[in-house]
């Protein structure tokens, strides 16, 4: 069967809109009347009315598309594959891709969760409904009830062009994927840390108590060595304060005493919390520390 000849649309010539600024009131009135007679059913122009009517017919277009999609689904279920495609192309004059989109949109927007929200969404027009088909039903329900999709409310989507909506949905999807990946990485790292800790606890439980004690001493010694290096690094800034005193007469003794007192207070708290005895008189470090580890020194500062 040959392709049915499609009716040609009559090209309507719009009245030329003059660009001169010198139009008199009578000319403007005549032009307005011509536009109103040809496209406005002869009614006096009212912007609110015209906008509402435009929204109404846009919604009808979307509703008509969904109704047509229902018929396409019925045809597809009852006709052989090749015959259905032939009907779509030759009798309905639809590209196959458009027919598929219409059926997908119908299935999407007439689902139980969205059917009651269909009219609220239909004001967006059929092309925007096509773009929103990939969104979850729950998100579209929320959109119809005043929520957002990709950070956009229904009225904002209504004002956008289809291209702007497509870009916004793509950017929203990319941001969601980035956040999801970040969350997945964080969860994976946390799970790995838990696994490592569990393995460590298991190893410690299986170790000889003496070996466990030795390992714990090594870890604590590293911490103490790091703290001592930090303390010794105060030598240079303290020397700078002393030099400043000699050159300008500003006294920093109380300030330095306060800092050392703060450190001493922290040491005393540790000693009291764990009931640690004082070192023997004249002994700076226990013998086992002097034998096993050299005294740490602060690194040279540039």
Around Cβ 19, how many Cβ atoms within 10 Å?
A: 6
Within-domain flag for 271: yes
How distant is the alpha carbon of residue 252 from its chain centre? 52
Same domain membership, residue 150 and residue 59: yes
Q: How many domains does the chain have?
A: 2
Check if the beta carbon of residue 33 is closer than 8 Å to that of residue 14: no
DSSP string, 130-194: HHHTTS-HHHHHHHHTT--BTTB-HHHHHHS-HHHHHHHHHHHHHHHHHHHHHHHHHHHHHHHHH
Q: How far is 162 from 168, CA to CA, in rounded Å?
A: 10
Per-residue pLDDT tens listing for the chain (302 residues): 444 444 444 444 544 544 444 455 666 566 666 666 656 666 776 667 766 766 666 567 788 888 888 888 888 888 787 888 888 888 888 888 888 888 888 888 888 888 788 778 877 877 888 888 777 888 888 888 888 787 788 888 888 888 888 888 787 766 666 666 767 777 777 877 777 777 777 776 766 777 778 888 888 888 889 988 988 998 999 999 899 889 888 898 989 999 899 988 988 898 888 888 876 655 555 555 555 545 445 555 54
3-class DSSP assignment, residue 236: helix
Query: 160, 178, 207: which is the final residue of a domain?
Result: 160
| Domain enclosing residue 152, as ranges | 26-160
Within-domain flag for 265: yes
Check if the beta carbon of residue 58 is closer than 8 Å to that of residue 65: no
Query: 123, 141, 160: which is the final residue of a domain?
Result: 160
Q: How far is 300 from 281, CA to CA, in rounded Å?
A: 31
Within-domain flag for 204: no
Within-domain flag for 19: no
Q: What is the pTM of this model?
A: 0.39
Within-domain flag for 168: no
């Amino acid at each position: 069967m040959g392709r049915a000849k499609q009716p040609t649309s009559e090209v309507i010539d719009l009245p030329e809109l003059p660009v001169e600024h010198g139009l008199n009131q009578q000319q403007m009135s005549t032009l307005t009347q011509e536009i109103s007679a040809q496209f406005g059913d002869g009614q006096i122009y009212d912007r609110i009315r015209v906008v509402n009517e435009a929204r109404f017919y846009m919604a009808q277009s979307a509703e008509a598309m969904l109704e047509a999609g229902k018929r396409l689904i019925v045809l597809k279920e009852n006709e052989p594959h090749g015959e259905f495609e032939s009907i779509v192309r030759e009798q309905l004059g639809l590209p196959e891709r458009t027919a598929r989109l219409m059926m997908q949109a119908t299935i999407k927007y007439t689902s139980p969760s969205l059917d009651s929200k269909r009219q609220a969404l239909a004001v967006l027009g059929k092309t925007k409904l096509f773009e929103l088909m990939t969104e979850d039903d729950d998100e579209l329900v929320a959109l119809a009830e005043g929520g957002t999709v990709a950070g956009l409310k229904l009225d904002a989507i209504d004002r956008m062009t289809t291209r702007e909506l497509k870009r916004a949905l793509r950017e929203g999807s990319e941001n969601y994927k980035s956040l999801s990946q970040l969350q997945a990485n964080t969860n994976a790292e946390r799970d790995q840390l838990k696994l490592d800790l569990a393995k460590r606890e298991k190893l410690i439980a299986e170790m000889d108590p003496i070996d466990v004690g030795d390992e714990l001493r090594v870890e604590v010694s590293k911490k103490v060595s790091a703290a001592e290096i930090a303390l010794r690094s105060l030598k240079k800034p303290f020397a700078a304060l002393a030099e400043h005193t000699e050159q300008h007469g500003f006294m920093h003794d109380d300030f330095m005493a306060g800092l050392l007192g703060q450190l001493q207070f922290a040491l005393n708290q540790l000693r009291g919390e764990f009931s640690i005895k004082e070192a023997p008189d004249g002994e700076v470090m226990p013998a086992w520390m002097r034998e096993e580890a050299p005294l740490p020194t602060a690194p040279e500062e540039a």
